């Protein structure tokens, strides 16, 4: 299992607060079958969550050194979970926001209770500038819980979806669980992530079994759990819905 989304770059958002907490969580993740993960701290303009790339890279180096000392067998990469903004392209170019492992893939999120009127414009701008936007946890947004087919229009513009696999184990309630199952059945989800902040709520063997039951497609499950993650790390293309 490889984790595209977690908040273990300590002290810069609402995730892990200390190096010690990050190490404890990474040890738990290793036991649960995680072999690689991308650290994706929040970046939200005009908030306290605005750590720039230079500072994030220094924190990653420090954490990686500690991971090596503790003999934790997890590879770490760097990214961001950026809050949607008309300035996303500018913030990437200014090296404020980090794409996923310096690839063309950028993880971002919507507000939970509404979809901005200019969301389509922002997604199209990212695509036109050569980026591949990845929407974090679509199953948690109220609009898509009520009307999941609204996502199809975004998918056809080049957006990809990252589901929180912890949703399948009830972490965000029944509606999020039901929505993610539907999106998996449609094969609209491209990536999975834990979205770990302060605790670990999964088992990779149970997850694989659950995914196979939902999708009945081993190749798709392999892509969700590992292969699509590898394509991001290597900055390779992934087939998109057209």
Asked if residue 141 belongs to a domain, the reply is yes
pLDDT at 227 over 70: yes
Dihedral sign, Cα of residue 199, residue 175, residue 117, residue 100: positive
Q: Is residue 106 part of a domain?
A: yes
Q: Give the pLDDT confidence score for residue 200 in this predicted structure.
A: 82
Task: Tell me the percentage of the chain whose pLDDT exceeds 70.
Answer: 99
Supply the angle between the helices 19-31 and 53-69 in degrees, to the nearest 10: 60
Phi, psi of 42 (to 5 degrees): -60, 145
Comparing CA positions, the residue from 74, 94, 73 lying closest to residue 85 is 94
C-alpha to C-alpha distance for 165 and 181, rounded to whole angstroms? 10
Length, in residues, of the chain? 242
81-110 confidence digits (pLDDT tens): 999 999 999 999 999 999 999 999 999 999
Instruction: Count structural domains, the chain.
Output: 1
Comparing 199 with 4, the larger pLDDT belongs to 4
Domain-embedded: residue 240:
no
Q: Which domain holds residue 149?
A: 2-233
Task: Order the strands of the 75-78 sheet from edge to edge.
Answer: 2-6, 36-39, 75-78
Q: Would you say residue 125 lies in a domain?
A: yes
**In a domain? residue 241:** no
Q: For residue 131, give the CATH number of its domain.
A: 3.20.20.140
Do 98 and 79 form a contact (C-beta atoms < 8 A)? yes
Is there a domain that residue 175 lies in?
A: yes
- What pLDDT, on a 0 to 100 scale, did the predictor assign at position 204? 86
The pLDDT assigned to 202 comes to: 74
**Rounded-to-integer distance, Cα 110 and Cα 85, Å:** 9
Could you tell me if residue 238 is inside a domain?
no
pTM for this entry = 0.96
Mean pLDDT along residues 194-212: 90
Q: Is residue 239 part of a domain?
A: no
């Amino acid at each position: 299992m490889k984790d595209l989304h977690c908040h273990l770059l300590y002290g810069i958002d609402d995730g892990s607060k200390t190096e010690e907490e990050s190490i404890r969580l990474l040890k738990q993740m290793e036991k649960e079958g995680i072999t690689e993960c991308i650290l994706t701290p929040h970046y939200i303009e005009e908030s306290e969550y605005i750590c720039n790339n230079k500072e994030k890279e220094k924190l990653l180096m420090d954490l990686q050194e500690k991971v090596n000392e503790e003999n934790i067998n997890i590879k770490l990469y760097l990214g961001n979970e950026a809050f949607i903004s008309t300035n996303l392209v500018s913030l990437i170019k200014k090296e404020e926001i980090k794409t996923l492992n310096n690839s063309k893939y950028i993880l971002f999120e919507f507000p939970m209770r509404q979809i901005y009127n200019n969301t389509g414009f922002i997604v199209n701008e990212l695509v036109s500038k050569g980026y591949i936007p990845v929407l974090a946890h679509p199953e948690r947004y109220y609009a898509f819980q009520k009307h999941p087919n609204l996502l199809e229009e975004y998918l056809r513009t080049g957006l990809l979806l990252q589901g929180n696999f912890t949703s399948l184990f009830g972490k965000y309630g029944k509606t999020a669980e039901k929505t993610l199952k539907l999106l998996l059945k449609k094969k609209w989800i491209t990536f999975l992530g834990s979205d770990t902040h302060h605790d670990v709520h999964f088992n990779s063997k149970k997850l694989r079994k659950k995914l196979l039951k939902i999708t009945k497609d081993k190749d798709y499950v392999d892509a969700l759990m590992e292969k699509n993650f590898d394509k991001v790390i290597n900055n390779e293309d992934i087939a998109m819905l057209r």
